[in-house]
Structures are given as structure tokens and as C-alpha cells.
Amino acid sequence: MAIKCPKCQADNPDTLKYCGECGTQLTFTKDISSFQTETLQVPIQELARGSVLAGRYEIIEELGKGGMGRVYKVFDIDIKEKVALKLLKPEISSDRETIERFSNELKFARKIRHKNVCGMYDLGKAEGTSFITMEYISGEDLKSMIRMTSSLTIGATLSIGKQICDGLAEAHALGIVHRDLKPQNVMIDKGGNAKIMDFGIARSIREKGITGPSVLIGTPEYMSPEQAEAKEVDYRSDIYSLGIILYEMATGRVPFEGETALSIAMKHKGEIPKNPKQFNPNIPDGLSSLILKCLEKDKARRYQTASEARSELEELEKGLPTMERIVPEKKTFTSKEITVTLSLKRLVLPALGLLFVVLAALTIWKILPKKEAAPEVVAKRSIAVLPFEDLSPEKGQEILADGIPETLINSLSSLEGLHVSARTSSFFFKGKQTDVREIGQKLGVETVLEGSIQVAGNRLRIMLRLIDIANGFQIWSDDYDKTLDDIFAVQDDIALSVVRALKIKLIGEDKEQLAKGYTVSREAYTAYLQGRYFWEKRGQKNTERAIEYFKKAIEQDPTYALAYTGIADSYQNLGNSQAIPPKEAFPRAIAAARKALELNDKLAEAHVSLAMPLFNYNHNFPEAEKGFKVALELKPGYATAHHWYAFFLTCMGRHEEAIKEIELARDLDPLSLQINANVGGFILYYARQFDQALEELMKSTELFPEHDQNYAWLSRVYVQLGRYEEARKATLRFNEMGGGRRTGAKIRLTYIDAISGNRGEAQKGLKELLDYSERDFVSPLEIARIYTSLGEKDQAFIWLDRALSENDARLVYLKVCPEFDPLRSDPRYGELLKKIGFK
């Protein structure tokens, strides 16, 4: 007997317990002996901006995500206030024992009422998932602050340390131990006030399947030795974690690191931490001793109370010069506090009460952030579109097998409600025998679209499957048997079918954008795909071939805007890589991008293609930023736009914003060689977070050992860390891999010789570069960099002026470039920055 699934309407034999199509559980009813389906409520994993949870919490924006789930800023409709809402992961939400522990722990956590502790509100459940509400704090978590500045000032370290102690002292007095104290759980508001978060949560977490008391609770880098041994903990465990936080604030690093949680735990148990002064000589001896006392293995030798540690921090602070002390701003009245004040005085001072309301409203309006936040990807569903397999009898259809998925990626990326893995990451697995579920997990998506094509003569057959990564079930499949002349209609149909299968609601112009193919000429489309094929391969020869194909596409269809963006991006690449002089490359890039926008001003790619040369060639910074923002409004999921906007923000010195943008780019394109290399090699490097830059570059090198740019940037980071021999080895590796095209490696080796004091070799290398510049293009800025490191300032300025006259694309780095620090005190440097366009 066949059973129809009410969820997907598929027929199932009565021998199945789960629907073969969608996986819905099939159960016996109580009244009849036949099977029928029972639709289970699937816990939601993400919340879309503007949606309302539990009929009460309107979602404003996502603040972040972690091991427990996602955190949102929401508006509580009932009490008319903004609160934070932590949406728990399904595996946590569905565990009744864990949720019960949460509920019990929150009863205690709610008792803590202190200015340095984030207030915990309630545990709720709606739409199949559980969530926790808590006080909303506008600011940054302490971990982000440390990442942005490498290490905090001594004044800031002492101020934040005292406030953490105050919050801990209050909690400990109530018999509550945090158990997972770490910088990620300490928020710093705009006034410098610290608040400890997540009291009552760490104790509730249990590794699945383990119910006994001997369970590791905490984050490996911050856990005490007794936690590492899964022993009972008391207040002194939080003191140990406080010591690690102070260590990290003062040095930018944690005392113990390792490849696994177990290896880190073993170090907490048996390894003596290095004196923090080894990493930051500016740390006062008293602070160093305080930190090491917090980190004693024997808890009896640590500070026995948070108040005791706080007293010593206060004494240390008294020894600082007045100007170095940090005094947090007093907390502004919240709307709740104002209401209480007015209720007490309503009968006595009604006019004064009204004045308080007005002043409070003005105060709140004033402190609300006015600058536009970096665009975020609001993704209710997520998908990766893999390159298709070519099953054609004679093969040779790679261009089409790659091109159709790329077109689908571009179309689907225009939808606000869908997170689409970028081409680079989705195509990373091409030719590799990797399970589709593993691919989905590595890309962080819920679904994967895979397929194959067969071309025989003019016949085109496409076979597709949409896979749910969570269970491996097939959500949707279809076969298309058409002619090559139908290729555009087929692609539109596939995109719409995927959207329907994912149950994404199309609003506004979504449907029009989804079906927008940009050309009706199959010949133009094929030439464009060939151009993008060579563009993705990079290198001067491949880029020049790409330009040829883009031009062929335009010959077939002069209105093909995407082909013009291909030309613009190609010349941009040739100019940036110094394959051809900037004055030849960038004007062509600008002209092609402007033509693309003339044909289609709604094309996000064209706005980015124009913004980049406006930025690094014309130095028209306001128009460039406007272009990046327009592109991200049109296509929030466009990884390249986030990536290149991060470059712009870095060069403007807006490092915090740049880090957020590059993180968004990497979320969208996690396996991009360029983005991964540029996290450490550009964004963190120019933010002068050299230790973090090195850490990110080592990760990128591990992921992509054959990507030459990893070694180019490693070379520069090693120089800033004074590790010249390692810098030289990285440069030679860069050269071996073909990155030393023409003068690339010679420039880097000469600079290393100069900065490390090997003046004879540096002079020799410089002469070779000068001789070469007589015959071919060498970046004047690179020559100026070498003269600067040799201490020859006048020659450095001669070459910087030459770079300005030639519009060297790297001039935009000068505001933040550490290699030119020896010139910054010279008035000529300030004048040069003004000429470039920096204020």
C-alpha cells in the first residue's frame, strides 16, 4: 500500500519508516493500523531581519555566531526595548536534559544584578527551537578588540581587568561560578564599560551522550588545570581564566596554544606559562607578577577572591601617569531607569519628568551609532552550486560544464534570502572525489546542487540533484533534454526550480533578477564563458587571452554589459600586478566599467569594476566608496565586492570595518585562495597586527600550499617581526613557484638585504633594478621602499614623486604602509599624502 507524504506529496511503500524523498518520519496512528505521515517541526537555525519570533521579538540584525548558536539584536515588542537573543543550535535545543539545566542555571544567573554583568532574562521556546534573552550591549567583545589592536594599552588592561573582577566578585558572592570566562564573553560598550556575559550557560553544556560529572566544561585556551582534569571547580577557576584574559590583553596572545583541545589542556595542567614581559617588555613588573599569580597550577596559591586581585590591579593603576589611566564613562540612563525615576516623582515634578524624557531621548539618539554598518549577508537558506560533470561522448565541454553553474551562482546570489557559496569555493572540489555532504559541511551550506551535462551535436541534456547536507536526502531533481539554443531558458528554469525547492519567497524584483541573462546571443555567451575561464586562471598570458574572448563576446552582442566588466577586471588585474604600466591599464579598465554601467546600472559587478580603479588609480575616494556600497546593496552576497571594499577601508585606515568586510568575504567564499591570503597578508598586515597576520597566513599556507601570494606576504610579515632569514626563505619559495615574475622576487630580496643591514647586497640589487627600469616597467614605489630602508630619504622622495606622476596603483597604501614609517616625520610625506587625496 502506497502512502502519500503530506509534506512533499511523494508516494512511499508501507515498508518505509521515513519518506524516501524528504525524510519526514512515518508513524502508525493510534486509531488505524495503516501508516500515515507525521510532520515534525524542524527547529529553525537562522532568523531573517524583520521577522518576528514568538510573536514578540522582532529581528533587527545578527550580531554573531558561536558554538551554541546565533546571537541577534531584537526589539522586544512587549517591553518596547532592544534585547539580545541567543538562538540555540538544534542539537542543543532538542536535548531536553540540557534545556532543563539551562532553565535551572538561569534561575541563579538572574540573581546577578551588577553594572559589570550582562543581565540574563529568560529561556523561551518557539517554532521548534529554544532561545535565551539577555541584556543588549552595544559595543565590541573583548576578543575582537584584542584582535584589532594586537594588545591593549596597560591603562585599558587594568581598567577592564578591574571591572571583570567587580562582576566576578558579585557573582561569586551569590555562589555562582562562570566556568567559561574568556574575552569572547566580555563585552565592552562605547564608554569603555565591561560586562561579563553568559553566566549560567557554561555549566549547562554537556557533550552529547555524557551525563556524568566528569565532563570538560570551558574553552581550552582559557580553562583552569582543574577543569582540564574534569574536576570540581570553584571561584578560583574563574581567577585562573581572568589571568589568561589579562595575559592576552597585555600581550595579544594566550599563554598556551596547541593543535587539539587535549594538547592545550595538558599544557594548562603541566606547563609553566612564559612571563608575559617576554612578549611585551612594556608590561610593568607588578602586572606581570599579578598575571602569573592568577595562573598558578595550585589554586591555593592563586588569589583567593576576585576582590583581592582587583585591589592589586587598582594599586598598579595608581602608578600609571594620569593620562594613561582609563576611566569608563558613566552609564547613560536607560529607558527603564527613566521610567522608574518619573514614577517616583510624577506627582511632585511632572514638568521636570517631561524634561528628563526629552533629554534621555536626545541622549539615546546621540549615542546610537550613526555610521553605516558594513553590509551583512542575511541568509535564511544556503547553497553551493558545484561544477557540472561533462558526460558528453567526446568530452570537450568544460567551458559549458563550468559556465552554467557559474551563471546559476550569479543569478541566485542576487536573492536577499539565500546565501550562495562563491564560485571559487564551490569549484575548489572540481576533479576531486569528495563526498557531496563533506563538501557542504566544508562550505558551511545546507544544500548542494550537483549535476552533469551531455552535448551531442546541438542537443543538450542536463541532469540535476539538490541534496540536503544534514541527511543526504535528495530534495529535488530534474532532467532537461533541450537544444543548445534553449540554454538561456533552461538556466532560468533551473534557477526558479531551485528557489521553489528551497521554499524561498521571491519579492520585488527578485524574479526578474533571477531570470536576467544579460544576453540573448549564444555565441556571445559562449565567448564570455571562455573569457571567464581564462580570467580565473590568472597570470598575464591567461588574462590577455581572457580580454580577447570578452572582446569577441562584445562583437557578437555590443550590449553585453557583463563582457565589459570582464575587460575592466582584466585590465585592473594587469595594472595591479605591474604586467603593464598603470597609465595603460587603468584608463582602459575605467572606460570598460563605465560602458557596462551605461548599458546596465543595476549590475553590481560593474559598480565594483569601476570603484576599484577610481580608488587605486584616480584616487577619487568618495566615488569609489559609493560604488562599493551600491554594489553591495544590489548584491549583498557578492564576495568580491566585500573583498575589494575591505582593501579600500584598510587603505583609508578604517581597520575595524575592513576586518569585518574581509570576514564577510571569507564567509561567502571560504576556499578562495586570494581572500584567505589577504586576510593576513593585506588586511591584518596593514592594521599592524603582525602576529595575527602571521597566524592567518600560516593557516592559508596550510590550506593552499601552492598559492604563491601566501609566501609573498609571509616574507613581508616576517620582516616586520624581525625574522629576516625566514623572510628570505619565504621570498625564495615565492620565486620558485613562479611568483617572481620579472622583478618581483628581486625587489623583495633587495628590500630584505636593506632592512636587515646587508647594505652591500642591497646596493647591488638596487642597481640591477634601476638598470632594468630603463628597459621595462618597475614600480617606482618599490624603488622608493628600498631607498627608505637604506636611509636615503631624498632618493626615496624622488621615487615617490615619480610614482605619483605615473599614478602607481600602490600609492593608496602609503597612509598605512609600515615600510615608510621612517619618512612620516618629514613634511614632504604629509604633502605627498595630500596630493594622493588623503585628508
The Cα–Cα gap between 604 and 80 comes to 37
Inter-residue contact 439 to 375 (CB < 8 Å): no
Checking if the pLDDT of 500 tops 50, the result is yes
pLDDT value, residue 354: 39
20 inside domain: yes
Parallel, antiparallel or unpaired: strands 81-88 and 69-76:
antiparallel
Helix (H/G/I), strand (E/B), else coil: 321: coil
Across the range 337-348, mean pLDDT stands at 32
Which of 367, 411, 405 is CA-nearest to residue 386?
Answer: 405
**The amino acid at 105:** E
Inter-residue contact 368 to 397 (CB < 8 Å): no
Query: 505 and 524: one domain?
Result: no
Query: 188 and 312: one domain?
Result: yes
279 inside domain: yes
Checking if the pLDDT of 324 tops 70, the result is no
Inter-residue contact 443 to 688 (CB < 8 Å): no
The Cα–Cα gap between 94 and 102 comes to 13
97 inside domain: no
Query: 404 and 302: one domain?
Result: no
Query: 318 and 341: one domain?
Result: no
Q: Which band of pLDDT confidence, cut at 50, 70 and 90, is reported for residue 200?
A: low
Checking if the pLDDT of 627 tops 90, the result is yes
The H or E element that residue 69 is part of is strand 69-76
Most confident of 410-419, 656-665, 805-814: 656-665
Which of 51, 23, 47 is CA-nearest to residue 37?
Answer: 23
Q: Which band of pLDDT confidence, cut at 50, 70 and 90, is reported for residue 380?
A: low
Q: Exposed e or buried b for every residue in 764-775, given b needs 16+ CB within 10 A?
A: ebbeebeeebee
Checking if the pLDDT of 42 tops 70, the result is no
- Name the domain boundary from 571, 601, 636: 636
Which of 727, 775, 770 is CA-nearest to residue 751?
Answer: 727
The Cα–Cα gap between 637 and 419 comes to 7
In whole angstroms, how far apart are CA 244 and each of 193, 205, 256, 288? 20, 22, 9, 12
Determine which of 5-19, 106-120, 234-248, 441-455 has the lowest per-residue pLDDT on average: 5-19
Residue 334 CB contacts under 8 Å (≥ 6 apart), including other chains: none
- Name the domain boundary from 311, 343, 367: 367
Q: Which band of pLDDT confidence, cut at 50, 70 and 90, is reported for residue 346?
A: very low
The Cα–Cα gap between 376 and 575 comes to 30
The Cα–Cα gap between 330 and 335 comes to 15
pLDDT value, residue 375: 38
Grid coordinates in use for 288? 606581570
Determine which of 316-330, 337-351, 430-444, 820-834 has the lowest per-residue pLDDT on average: 337-351
Q: Exposed e or buried b for every residue in 28-44, given b needs 16+ CB within 10 A?
A: eeeeeeebebeeeeebb
432 inside domain: yes
Which of 544, 548, 533, 569 is CA-nearest to residue 404?
Answer: 533
Across the range 182-201, mean pLDDT stands at 85
Across the range 502-514, mean pLDDT stands at 59
662 inside domain: no
The residue among 173 and 151 whose pLDDT is bigger is 173
Inter-residue contact 824 to 659 (CB < 8 Å): no
| Structural domain total, the chain | 6
767 inside domain: no
Neighbours of 507 (CB within 10 A): 10
Query: 574 and 513: one domain?
Result: no
pLDDT value, residue 509: 54
- Which CATH number do you get for residue 468? 3.40.50.10070
Query: 83 and 180: one domain?
Result: no
Local structure of residue 116 (DSSP, 8 states): T
Query: 206 and 320: one domain?
Result: yes
- Which CATH number do you get for residue 622? 1.25.40.10
Inter-residue contact 238 to 172 (CB < 8 Å): yes
Grid coordinates in use for 798? 624622488
pLDDT value, residue 21: 55
pTM of the model as a whole: 0.53
- Which CATH number do you get for residue 220? 1.10.510.10
Range of the domain at 513: 381-517
Per-residue model confidence as pLDDT tens digits over 65-101 = 777 889 999 999 988 888 999 998 888 888 888 888 7
Q: Which band of pLDDT confidence, cut at 50, 70 and 90, is reported for residue 488?
A: confident
801 inside domain: no
Which residues lie across from 139 on neighbouring strands? 189
Query: 120 and 10: one domain?
Result: no
Q: Which band of pLDDT confidence, cut at 50, 70 and 90, is reported for residue 8?
A: low
415 inside domain: yes
Measure the CA dihedral 276/278/282/286, to 10°. 40
The residue to which cell 518619573 is assigned: 342
Across the range 360-379, mean pLDDT stands at 39
pLDDT value, residue 335: 33
The residue among 503 and 513 whose pLDDT is bigger is 503
**3-state DSSP: the chain helix, strand, coil percent, rounded to 5?**
55, 15, 35
Query: 467 and 587: one domain?
Result: no
Angle, helix 154-173 to helix 306-318, in steps of 10 degrees: 160
Checking if the pLDDT of 584 tops 50, the result is yes
Taking CB atoms within 8 Å and a gap of at least 24, the contacts of 72-81 are 72/47, 73/136, 76/133, 77/52, 80/335, 81/136, 81/335, 81/336
Query: 409 and 546: one domain?
Result: no
Which of 658, 659, 629, 661 is CA-nearest to residue 642?
Answer: 661
Q: What residue spans of 743-792 are helical by DSSP H?
A: 744-755, 759-773, 780-789
**The amino acid at 760:** G
Determine which of 18-22, 244-248, 545-549, 823-827 has the lowest per-residue pLDDT on average: 18-22
- Which CATH number do you get for residue 59? 3.30.200.20
| Residue percentage of the chain with pLDDT more than 70 | 83
Most confident of 259-268, 376-385, 517-526: 259-268
Local structure of residue 604 (DSSP, 8 states): H
Query: 455 and 563: one domain?
Result: no
The Cα–Cα gap between 557 and 574 comes to 25
Q: What residue spans of 427-508 are helical by DSSP H?
A: 436-443, 487-501
Local structure of residue 286 (DSSP, 8 states): H
Three-class DSSP labels, 397-433: CHHHHHHHHHHHHHHHCCCCCEEECCHHHHHHHCCCC
- Name the domain boundary from 82, 117, 134: 134
Inter-residue contact 528 to 550 (CB < 8 Å): yes
Angle, helix 793-805 to helix 780-789, in steps of 10 degrees: 170
Query: 406 and 539: one domain?
Result: no
Q: Tell whether the torsion through CA atoms of 519, 523, 529 and 530 is positive or negative.
A: negative
The Cα–Cα gap between 343 and 474 comes to 60
Q: What residue spans of 515-620 are helical by DSSP H?
A: 522-537, 540-556, 561-576, 582-599, 604-616
The H or E element that residue 828 is part of is helix 827-836
